[in-house]
Amino acid sequence: MPGDERIAAKPLASVPVGLVLVMLGLAACGTERGITGREPDQPGIPLAVLTVHVRLQPSDTALASALDWESGVPGAEVNLLRNGTEDWIRLRTDRTGRARAVDLLSGLYLVYAGRILTQAEASAAELPIRSFGDGITTELADRGEQSLEFELSSDVPGSLVISEISGWGPPSWEVGGSYTDHHYFEVYNNSARTLFLDGMVFGATVRGDDNIFGHCAHSQAVRSDSLGVYSLALLQWPGAGGEYPIGPGESRLVAMSAIDHTAVHPELPDLSHADFEIRGARAADNPAVPDMIDVGLRPFVTRLGGAALSDLLAGNVGFFVARPLDPGELPIMYRDFAGQSYQRIPRDLLLDVVGRAQVLADLQRESPPCVPLLHPDFDRYPGGFYTIALGAEDRRLSFQRQGLRSEGGRDILSNSNTSAVDFVLADLTPGGPLWRER
């Protein structure tokens, strides 16, 4: 990848209009004028107007000055979605950092904003290419002018980050039943020094919607906790301290089952080259691939009706990587509506936290999203917003962190602490090239 340009785009799989958000959402498109099927001029329907003002955080005053963004962030992309619908509204801010959406029905709206510097802007301000993001879920009243203020956080490369979580599963009629053993995730060393995976932990957080796993009111306190994230399913990398290095700009692939899944379906990935294997619940084993260690209060992978189930399949959930820890020393801090127990992973051990949402109109109505999914110190807004793992048309799609620039011969990935901005939807690339922004 060239070192002086925003990284060249990789083609996405074709995307249908219907959104299902199992993986984060920059690809979600809509109209600039409201909800499909609505007639703005129809009398008797109360409509609202929303003005969004996008700025950088006060701590980035010098950065705003260097970019001439003191009055606001120009050219930021603002995305809005009314809960229970599937059509996104996408706007661009003007030179003062403002965007205006008109003829909006009242209701709960998902709103996020993001911006990535162009190469020309970065060069003119003598800065590296950076990303910025923020988001909120908010209720719009029936009528009148309303406003939102966004203070975009700027990216910090960090160290070990989650770079990809797979999506899409073949329809049951194409494989003779449910098949999910092909799922995987990848981690990436976004720093300039060699790290060691030995003893590090990957896990999923409390679900963030009203369903059998818990009601929003029940989990509000733990989802809003700034002291850590709560988990019941944890995987730990093997090793005693220096066995599994990951160099700067390197990734490691962790497969549910490290075998060639094309034998089951031609569009499933070959994961026989994975670096680690989850296995669990009698999944096929590749003896040449080291196994992750299941250390959570609940098995990371369970079986139900012949299918391997894990939080890699879930929407409205956070994922994290943490420094080496002893789960046995973490007390149970929370029990959900179904009686499942959770431990809190302290914030000082967390290296990366991302949020993945799910948008499907009927599901949004039946199981409304919880607000917030994660404390904003960990993720300012989840991403995903697309059809993954549920449809026959959306083959190969996965949730991938996008690249910003090349530095010292390695990719630097976006890490603005806003998953809706940092991640995109792209083809499955297990162990392959990272998604590259145009």
DSSP state string for 87-129:
-EEEEE--TTSEEEEEEEPSEEEEEEEEEE--HHHHHHTT---
Assign 177 a pLDDT band (cuts: 50, 70, 90).
confident
Assign 401 a pLDDT band (cuts: 50, 70, 90).
very high
pLDDT value for 319: 96
pLDDT value for 93: 98
Instruction: Say which residue, 169 or 66, is predicted with more confidence.
Output: 66
The residues spanned by each domain of the chain are 30-154, 160-436
Instruction: Say which residue, 17 or 109, is predicted with more confidence.
Output: 109
Please give the average per-residue pLDDT across 257-279, as a whole number: 91
Assign 142 a pLDDT band (cuts: 50, 70, 90).
confident
pLDDT value for 15: 32
CA distance 106 to 50: 11
Instruction: Say which residue, 230 or 85, is predicted with more confidence.
Output: 230
Please give the average per-residue pLDDT across 44-70, as a whole number: 89
Asked whether the predicted pLDDT for residue 253 surpasses 90, the reply is: yes
Asked whether the predicted pLDDT for residue 19 surpasses 60, the reply is: no
Asked whether the predicted pLDDT for residue 147 surpasses 60, the reply is: yes
Instruction: Say which residue, 276 or 392, is predicted with more confidence.
Output: 276
Specify whether domain 30-154 bears CATH 3.40.50.300. no
pLDDT value for 437: 55
pLDDT value for 197: 98
pLDDT value for 23: 33
Question: What is the total residue count of the chain?
Answer: 438
Helix (H) or strand (E) holding 365: helix 361-366
Assign 282 a pLDDT band (cuts: 50, 70, 90).
low
Assign 134 a pLDDT band (cuts: 50, 70, 90).
very high
Closest by CA position to 130, among listed 163, 104, 154: 154
| Diameter over CA atoms, the chain | 69
pLDDT value for 395: 55
pLDDT value for 180: 82
CA distance 53 to 16: 31
What tokens does 201 get?
């932990």
pLDDT value for 83: 84
Asked whether the predicted pLDDT for residue 25 surpasses 70, the reply is: no
Please give the average per-residue pLDDT across 257-286, as a whole number: 85
pLDDT value for 12: 35
What pTM did the predictor assign? 0.86
CA dihedral 396, 230, 362, 143 (to 10 degrees): -120
pLDDT value for 222: 92
pLDDT value for 359: 75
Asked whether the predicted pLDDT for residue 14 surpasses 70, the reply is: no
Instruction: Say which residue, 315 or 33, is predicted with more confidence.
Output: 315
Amino acid letter, residue 158: G
CA distance 323 to 348: 9
Asked whether the predicted pLDDT for residue 229 surpasses 60, the reply is: yes
Instruction: Say which residue, 362 or 434, is predicted with more confidence.
Output: 434
Assign 307 a pLDDT band (cuts: 50, 70, 90).
low
- From 17-21, 327-331, 415-419, the region with the lowest mean pLDDT: 17-21
Asked whether the predicted pLDDT for residue 380 surpasses 50, the reply is: yes
pLDDT value for 392: 46
CA angle (179 as vertex; 176, 183 as ends), nearest 5: 155
Please give the average per-residue pLDDT across 366-381, as a whole number: 88
pLDDT value for 434: 74
Average pLDDT of the residues of the chain? 82
Asked whether the predicted pLDDT for residue 29 surpasses 60, the reply is: no
CA distances from 16 to 13, 164, 393 (A): 10, 21, 7
Assign 213 a pLDDT band (cuts: 50, 70, 90).
low
CA distances from 371 to 135, 167, 421 (A): 11, 24, 18
Assign 388 a pLDDT band (cuts: 50, 70, 90).
very low
Instruction: Say which residue, 262 or 436, is predicted with more confidence.
Output: 262
